[in-house]
């Protein structure tokens, strides 16, 4: 029997954490993704939505974040959530340990 439940609060995270990997393992074609493609079992996706909801409630008009070069899984995750490369440098785009590379800064604006 199939049971359908809407997961909408932070309290639902443990259930989501179990359900999503099982679904990707059993039917990756249905989600156009494989379990191996899903960063940290979906924690990033869940948290990005929670952070945006909090920021909107707090009156913020944008979110900015930094991504280490080469972390294409993170870039793809944030793009799916509406973030774009900002082209900004500064505090978020710090020089990394190699003394040359910089973090990429992404932004999502609303309102």
Query: pLDDT in tens for each of the 111 residues of the chain?
Result: 667 777 667 677 677 777 777 777 777 666 656 666 665 545 565 566 778 888 888 999 999 888 877 888 888 888 988 999 988 765 555 677 777 777 888 999 997
Task: Write down the pTM of the prediction.
Answer: 0.55
Q: For residues 1 and 16, what is the distance between their CA atoms, to the nearest angstrom?
A: 19
Inter-helix orientation angle 43-57/72-80, to 10°: 50
Token pair in block for residue 23:
């679904």
| Helix (H) or strand (E) run with residue 49 in it | helix 43-57
């Amino acid at each position: 029997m199939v049971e359908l439940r809407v997961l909408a609060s932070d309290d639902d995270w443990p259930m989501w954490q179990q359900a999503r990997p099982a679904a990707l393992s059993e039917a990756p074609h249905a989600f156009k993704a494989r379990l191996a493609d899903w960063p940290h079992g979906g924690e990033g996706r869940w948290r990005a939505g929670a952070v945006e909801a909090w920021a909107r409630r707090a009156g913020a008009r944008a979110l900015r974040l930094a991504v280490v070069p080469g972390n294409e899984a993170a870039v793809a995750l944030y793009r799916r959530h509406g973030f774009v490369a900002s082209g900004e440098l500064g505090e978020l785009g710090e020089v990394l340990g190699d003394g040359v590379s910089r973090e990429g800064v992404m932004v999502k604006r609303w309102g």
